[in-house]
Amino acid sequence: MTDDIYFYERTEGRIDGKYRFLSNFYKANMVINNKEYSTVEHYFQSIKHVGTELEEKIRLAATPIKAKKLAWTRELPSDWGQNKEDVMLLALRAKFSQHPKLAEKLMDTGDASLHEDSPTDIYWGVKGLDRRGKMLMQVRDKLGDTNNG
């Protein structure tokens, strides 16, 4: 029987539980395309506005929630729906490939099903398509392939 692991960033500045490292709000500095991002959320939100002055403001925002709120101040690019999963997957891969201890913790989840326990997100969260959990499992599987091959 496969276990289920639920994670979610409940409030700014406080992430509960043993699996908080799975959250996009978890501080894990990473470099993507020669730019440093404090969290997956900073990267994800900034890419919504790549090439604009807002991109850099979001990247440098003091907290992930501030980055998210800044990103919501402008309309999304028309192709965002087609690109958002690629952006998320790139960020998740960067986070876990650049932080071996986090990669080890992800691998320690074994074959558990991972779910973002968002009460409202019908795309990324478990109450909808559960895409974030599925992408984390995809990253975990790829890490397992790398460690076994």
Spell out the alpha helix ranges (H) of the chain: 40-47, 53-59, 64-71, 80-98, 100-107, 131-148
pLDDT for residue 11: 46
- Is pLDDT of 9 > 90? no
20 three-state secondary structure: helix
User: What is 4-148's CATH number?
Assistant: 1.10.357.40
Note the pTM of the prediction, 2 decimals: 0.92
Please, which residues bridge with residue 11 across strands? Answer: 14
- 99: which DSSP letter? -
- Is pLDDT of 1 > 80? no
User: Region 76-81: what's the mean pLDDT?
Assistant: 94
- Is pLDDT of 13 > 90? no
User: Region 1-18: what's the mean pLDDT?
Assistant: 69
Higher pLDDT, 28 or 17: 28
The pLDDT confidence band at residue 8, using thresholds 50, 70 and 90, is confident
**How do the domains of the chain map onto residue ranges?**
4-148
